Amino acid sequence: MKTEPIMETNLPSAMAATIRRQAGDFFALTKPRVVSLIVFCAFIGMLLAPGSLAMPGVLAAATLGIALVAGAAAALNCLIEQNIDRKMARTRARPLPRGAIGAGATLVWSLALCSLGLAILLYWVNPLTAWLTLATFVGYALIYTVVLKPLTPQNIVIGGLSGAMPPALGWAAVANDLPAQAWLLVLIIYAWTPPHFWALALYRTREYAAAGVPMLPVTHGSKFTRLHIFLYTWLLTAVTLMPFIIGMSGWLYLGVALVLDALFLAYTWLLWQEYSDAAARKTFRYSIFYLSALFSALLIDHFL
Domains of the chain, each with CATH number or no CATH: 1-153+167-174 (1.10.357), 179-304 (1.20.120)
Q: Please give the pLDDT value at position 9.
A: 52
User: pTM for this structure?
Assistant: 0.93
CA distances from 21 to 9, 18, 32, 101, 253 (A): 19, 5, 16, 11, 43
Q: Please give the pLDDT value at position 16.
A: 81
Q: Please give the pLDDT value at position 12.
A: 76
Q: Please give the pLDDT value at position 1.
A: 44
Show pLDDT as tens, one digit a residue, over the chain (304 residues).
Answer: 445 454 455 767 878 888 889 999 999 999 999 999 999 999 999 999 999 999 999 999 999 999 999 999 999 999 999 999 998 888 889 999 999 999 999 999 999 999 999 999 999 999 999 999 999 999 999 999 999 899 999 999 988 899 999 999 999 999 999 999 999 999 999 999 999 999 999 999 999 999 899 999 999 999 999 999 999 999 999 999 999 999 999 999 999 999 999 999 999 999 999 999 999 999 999 999 999 999 999 999 999 9
Q: Please give the pLDDT value at position 11.
A: 66
